[in-house]
Structure 1
């Protein structure tokens, strides 16, 4: 992973006011140890849960609406920015037009970062905030200082520039709102010019339900279904760790190799049906994968969760009576029950 371009501009705006001022840096920030450290911190925060994904409503840009895609078309040529400072200044000025009408929002630092990973080019646009801190001078006296807040991201966007430039129909935009209220997330989405943003957790839950629906439609035995769900879960986990999107056709390939081409086509048919309408690619939210390999439920008096591959083995379900029989209790639970019966 290598940083190609980096620049930070400041937007001065007080909460409760509409007037905003852009303090634009004339040239790029040096790519030094501090820049590398901040880049790593931003990346770590960005890749946490709660991702949204989408694509430009107008990939090449237009006179009306969001200017970000038009500015990319103007300045990003053959995997490089022709004039990164000019691109970011125009972009920041356009950002102000969406920020100023929202009185509840304050300014901050706009971080623009173009980097390359495995031959793919990406662009970060991140709103960072300052915070007050305590520093220690050379004579060991304490003083109040301003620091960049790196514990959380407020607004952040990452564009897969290579995918966008190639005309990819997938969701090449990823963005996060942090804990931003609705009025903030709305203006940021408008600035991006993003078409139908999707939440990664919601898309992952749809994939989980799709996998179960396929197993049910094909009448797979419990063991066979659980094995397939585990394979899907492992593939999803791998993509999540690589921070790459999962292609639905890759899951269909698993169906073809484990079952048949006809059943793979059936899987894709269900995925494209009105019940699911799955995207061709999705970003995976790890936490939403649990239902693929675990069964769980709770009431006010009882909570139960177990690996789905135990069903039919050490755990038996009787559909007629709606009861579960557990043959092998956890040792700690068994010990408690035995002590209570004595």
Structure 2
């Protein structure tokens, strides 16, 4: 992953479980990002964000929060970036983390990595907690030492803010805001909550835009199969199984879980790819959970959005047609329109069986011939 690092620094939140919190160690200057050990730390942390064991939840800043960080970040986005402004925003975050951890007896601290960076034409602020471990050693100035191996298979806690999406949200109307996220939070497993003092201290609210998540899950998971020759033959059966799963979650009122969608996908991996199954599954969930696609670890399904992918709907002035797509066979891209002048219903791109389904449905609804 190619990234451009604007500024990076590590501070230390000194807190052991069930013990009183100690004053934080606040580093007074940013890292020299050209140093190999520093670069390795930053690339390691940013590259695993959203990957296996680091899957992301999504959300926004809470509307009601005692944290001053959201307001401080808003101000940070409106000024020219500098070492001074970067250290100030990291100091603000550390103050909120210290105050929250102080109230949480069971909380523990660690090294807090801050990185302002650009990747894929987007700018991000990453805040990640790195626990003390043998593989990660920092000197007394909290600077990574040379010639060490970093064990960064997973981040303990992390939050990342997308600057452009933050601005888009600020300019959006109330309806559009319902489908926008600009924050993401890491969870080490699908069953582990992303909430806790780390997230709440920063004034974040864990949530998701369910319509966008539902649509992207369906579209992008099928595209993943369609774009790979070995998976292509199974794309239709896979899509049917995903839609069946989504309908089941809708009917039972349960959330959609990315881990369960991954399990469905694995059922349609060809037998000859058995040795590649884990890597392929990781690539699959990584794509769906990525910043670009934005399907979170777990989310409530959008019934309206799901309906669009499981039904064909045509509306006229005083009546409408609505069919389960399974009853229409393969013709899901049908053209259905009513010509008022001739009082004819025009249907194209549907099988004879599907046309007959519509003909029977219309028999006692409207007295017009069906033109194919």
Post-superposition shift, 1:269?
8.4
- TM-score scaled by length of structure 2: 0.50
Q: What is the alpha-carbon distance in structure 2 between the residues aligned to residue 118 and residue 133 of structure 1?
A: 29
Post-superposition shift, 1:164?
0.6
Q: Which runs of 5+ in 2 are unaligned?
A: 138-146, 223-232, 244-264, 266-282, 296-301, 311-329, 331-372
Q: Does 1:174 align with 2:179?
A: no
Contact 1:10–1:22 (CA under 8 A) maintained in structure 2? yes
Q: What is the alpha-carbon distance in structure 1 between the residues aligned to residue 159 and residue 129 of structure 2?
A: 9
Q: What does the per-residue CA deviation read over 1:246-270, in whole Å, with 9 as the maximum and x for residues that have no partner?
A: 389xxxxxxxxxxxxxxxxxxx983
Post-superposition shift, 1:67?
2.0
Matches within 5 A, 1:12-51: 12-32=14-34, 33-49=36-52, 50-51=55-56
Matches within 5 A, 1:252-263: none
SS of equivalent residue, structure 1 residue 185 = coil
Query: Once superposed, what is the RMSD of the aligned Cα atoms?
Result: 4.7
**Which residue in 1 is equivalent to 2:236?**
226
Matches within 5 A, 1:1-342: 1-32=3-34, 33-49=36-52, 50-58=55-63, 65-77=66-78, 80=81, 83-132=85-134, 149-166=151-168, 167=170, 169=177, 170-178=180-188, 185-198=195-208, 203=213, 207-208=217-218, 226=236, 229=239, 240=287, 243-246=290-293, 270-271=304-305
Q: What does the per-residue CA deviation read over 1:156-207, in whole Å, with 9 as the maximum and x for residues that have no partner?
A: 111101211232631111111326997983212312322343499x956994
Q: What does the per-residue CA deviation read over 1:265-295, in whole Å, with 9 as the maximum and x for residues that have no partner?
A: xxx983187xx9xxxxxxxxxxxxxxxxxxx
Post-superposition shift, 1:72?
0.7
Contact 2:10–2:27 (CA under 8 A) maintained in structure 1? yes
Q: What does the per-residue CA deviation read over 1:107-154, in whole Å, with 9 as the maximum and x for residues that have no partner?
A: 21110000012332101000011223699xxxxxxxxx9986523210
Q: What is the alpha-carbon distance in structure 1 between the residues aligned to residue 149 and residue 24 of structure 2?
A: 20
Contact 2:50–2:186 (CA under 8 A) maintained in structure 1? no
Post-superposition shift, 1:75?
2.4
Residues 247 and 86 of structure 1, relative CA distance in 2, 3 Å threshold: closer
Q: What is the alpha-carbon distance in structure 2 between the residues aligned to residue 228 and residue 149 of structure 1?
A: 36
Q: What is the alpha-carbon distance in structure 1 between the residues aligned to residue 303 and residue 215 of structure 2?
A: 18
Post-superposition shift, 1:68?
2.0
Q: What is the alpha-carbon distance in structure 2 between the residues aligned to residue 241 and residue 183 of structure 1?
A: 19
Q: What is the alpha-carbon distance in structure 2 between the residues aligned to residue 247 and residue 103 of structure 1?
A: 34
